[in-house]
Amino acid sequence: MTSPKAELSQSSNQSSSNRSSSSSNRKLILAGQIAFLPTGILQTLLGPMLPILIARWALNDTQAGNLFLVQFLASLAGVQLSGLLLTRWGYRPAFLSGLLLMAYGVSTLLLGSSALGMAAVAAYGLGLGLVVPSDNLLIAEIGSGSDSSSASGAASQQSSQQSSQRSSQQSSQGSPQASSQRSSEASSRASAVSLLNFFWGVGAVFCSLMVAWTAAHKLLPFFLGSVALFLLLLAFEMRNLPFPAAATSSATPAGTSSVTPAGSSPSSFSSTSSSTSSPSSASTSSPSSASSPSWRNLAKSPAIWIFAAIFFLYPGAETAVGGWIGSYVSRLGSRGAAIASLMPAFFWTALTVGRALGTVFLRYFSERSVLRIGYGAGAAGIGLMLWAPTLTGVIGGALITGLSFATLYPITVARLSQRFGVAARKIGAVMFSLAAVGPAVIPWMVGVISHSTGSLRAGLLLPLGATVILFVVHLFEW
């Protein structure tokens, strides 16, 4: 039997280790949030820039849509590369190479012809493909751990001071406590990803405002160069941060800082939530059950196909609305043309405010309810934007759509992490690839439809249809 002093010493060491881990996690979370500021700028840059580039390079709608296609196909290649980097070498190479590519692309965007501009868009698109999935998965993986480490340390000290009889009584109640802990970790994970994407939204809003202002004052190249310099400095500062190690097949989900909920196995892919697994199941599972599952087993789960549809349709719809809204408004008369470059700011501001409130909102409402309301209101907002008879109505529709979309993607990323655990690193490469294909295909198709029909409104029916489909999908349990 261990003496009280030994227990106290062991508890003190564990508490010190928890504090050290929590400090490292906080540094990584802060770095990830800062990195998402320029990420938001570059990922939405084509929206406010599109009217400028159409005029500068004499593009039609199909050619303008090709810019989205180039950016997000390059991003798709980056996502595929990120999966390899995360699996073999961890987060550091993906982050640093992504930031450097983004800096190169944005600094060369306006240096030459449309062909050189396409190459620049491809360069920063490749960088985005490396940074976006890495940052989302990193924050989802360590977000809940940084919040719970101090609490676990306190719990260790308290348990060391209990009698053996008291400890025995508490252990008999471990299953409800573990279930509550898993629920808290899932909520914390969703909130962490939502807050991360709030910083992305800040970058998106800043992008629209600065493009409009610097273009009016002939300072647009200076703004793009400043973004490139910021990315270079950020890469330099992040080079020595304590990123998590590369994933291994022997990684165990329980008791680590991985994204697997406590007490659940990464191989649990049935419709039953992983939170229903008992704590003892984790400790008695074999090493093979804790390893990453095969794609054959993954394909048998209906949930993974639903996730695939969501990761394709939602980012595509969001990018299409944010990317084309400026051009849409520019065709609504002289007043619309005057504020065309500012229009994406309305959409991204609403989305950013929603993500700032989302961390609080998720404490009181279930994720499923938020998803249903968000997709339903988003479809209504796009409809209002397309059929409003006045410019004020279009702005109102953009605000409703942005606010409704705010927490949908962060929740989806968090649910993917919660459902599949450590295997989310492997699955994430495919899902984030689809999240790159959607923004490549849907905005491009908007341009094709607009050019063939002579109506941008007809093209924007595509993101409206995608949002309606996602609303219907989330009416069902899966």
CATH number of the CATH domain containing 58: 1.20.1250.20
Bigger pLDDT: 145 or 113? 113
Q: What is residue 285's predicted lDDT score, i.e. its pLDDT?
A: 37
Rg of the chain over CA atoms, in angstroms?
23
Number of CB atoms found within 10 A of residue 421's CB: 28
Q: Which residues lie below 8 Å from residue 147, measured CB to CB, with a gap of 6+?
A: 188, 192
Q: Is the pLDDT of residue 125 over 80?
A: yes
pLDDT of residue 14: 55
Q: What is the dihedral of CA 24, 102, 104, 433, to 10 degrees?
A: 120
Judge whether 316 and 459 are in contact, CB under 8 Å: no
Instruction: Answer whether residue 415 is part of any domain.
Output: yes
Determine the pLDDT at residue 329. 92
pLDDT of 397-410, one tens digit each?
999 999 999 889 88
439 and 313 Cβ atoms separated by less than 8 Å: no
Tell me the C-alpha distance between 60 and 452, whole Å: 11
Question: What would the mean pLDDT of 121-131 be, rounded to a whole number?
Answer: 94
- Is the pLDDT assigned to residue 377 strictly greater than 80? yes
Whole-number pLDDT of residue 85: 87
Query: pLDDT band at residue 1, thresholds of 50, 70 and 90?
Result: low
Give first-to-last CA distance, the chain, whole Å.
Answer: 47
Q: How many residues does the chain have?
A: 478
Q: Is 281 a member of any domain?
A: no
171 lies in some domain? no
Identify the pLDDT of residue 428: 80
Please give the DSSP secondary-structure letter assigned to residue 439: H
Query: CA 450, CA 388: separation in Å to the nearest integer?
Result: 19
Task: Name the token pair of 316.
Answer: 């595509």
Mean pLDDT within 120-145: 84
User: How does DSSP classify residue 262?
Assistant: T
Is 382 in contact with 463 (CB distance < 8 Å)?
A: yes
> Which pTM value belongs to this model?
0.69
Copy the structure tokens of residue 304: 């993974």
Evaluate whether residue 90 is within a structural domain. Answer: yes
Has residue 120 got a pLDDT over 50? yes
Q: Could you tell me the pLDDT band of residue 429, with boundaries at 50, 70 and 90?
A: confident
On whether the CB atoms of residues 374 and 220 are closer than 8 A, the answer is no
What does the pLDDT look like over 430-473, one tens digit per residue?
888 888 789 889 999 999 999 999 999 999 999 999 999 999 99
Mean pLDDT over 384-388 rounds to: 93
Q: Which residue has the higher pLDDT, 174 or 199?
A: 199
Task: Write the burial class of residue 334 (CB in 10 Å: 0-12 exposed, 13-18 middle, 19+ buried).
Answer: exposed
Q: List Cβ neighbours of 14 (8 Å cut-off, separation of 6 or more).
A: 153, 156
Tokens representing 452?
């063939």
In a domain, 257, yes or no: no
The pLDDT value recorded for residue 301 is: 76
Q: Which amino acid is at 465?
A: G
- pLDDT of 222 > 90? The answer is yes
Residue scoring higher pLDDT (368 or 425): 368
Separation CA 462–CA 443 (nearest Å) = 9
Closest CA to 185 of 151, 143, 220, 136: 143
**Three-state SS at 476:** coil
Residue 224: both structure tokens together: 């793009």
Q: Which amino acid is at 99?
A: L
pLDDT higher than threshold 80 for residue 205: yes
Q: Is residue 129 part of a domain?
A: yes
Would you tell me the crossing angle of helices 343-361 and 302-330 to the nearest 10 degrees? 140
pLDDT tens per residue, range 24-39: 677 778 888 889 999 9
Confidence at 194, pLDDT banded by 50, 70, 90: low
pLDDT of 84 above 60 = yes
Average pLDDT over residues 87-106: 91
Placement of tokens 């109102």 in the chain: 396
Q: Which domain holds residue 102?
A: 15-161+177-248+295-473
Q: Band the pLDDT of 316: cuts 50, 70, 90.
A: very high
CA atoms 24, 26, 32, 35: torsion sign: negative
Q: Is the pLDDT of residue 367 over 80?
A: yes
254: confidence class by pLDDT, cuts 50, 70, 90: very low
Output the pLDDT for position 188: 59
Number of domains in the chain: 1
Q: Which position has the token pair 């990684």?
A: 251
Cβ-based neighbours of 170, under 8 Å, separated by 6 or more: 159, 162
State the alpha helices, DSSP H only, in 44-113. Answer: 46-57, 61-88, 91-107
CB 321 within 8 A of CB 401: yes
**Average pLDDT of span 78-82:** 87
Output 241 or 472, whichever has higher pLDDT.
Answer: 472
Name the band, by pLDDT with cuts 50, 70 and 90, for residue 225.
very high
Which residues fall within 8 angstroms of residue 198, CB to CB, at 6 or more apart?
352, 355, 356, 358, 359
Residue 207 near residue 41 (C-beta atoms within 8 A): yes
**Of the candidates 205, 443, 155, the residue with the CA atom closest to the CA atom of residue 319:** 443
Domain presence at residue 131: yes
Mean pLDDT over all residues of the chain? 78
Compare 229 and 166 and report the one with higher pLDDT. 229
Among the listed ranges 183-197, 252-266, 454-468, which one has the minimum average pLDDT value? 252-266
In the predicted structure, residue 68 carries a pLDDT above the cut 80: yes
Res 476 pLDDT > 60:
yes
CA dist 256 and 240 (Å) reads: 22
Q: What is the pLDDT of residue 163?
A: 46
Cα separation, 380 vs 387, whole angstroms: 11
Asked if 197 contacts 33 with a C-beta cutoff of 8 angstroms, the reply is no
The answer on pLDDT for 271 being more than 60 is no
| CA distance linking residue 260 with residue 202, whole number of Å | 29
Report the C-alpha gap between 324 and 316 in whole angstroms: 12
DSSP letters for 216-227: HTT-HHHHHHHH
Instruction: Determine, yes or no, domain membership for 198.
Output: yes
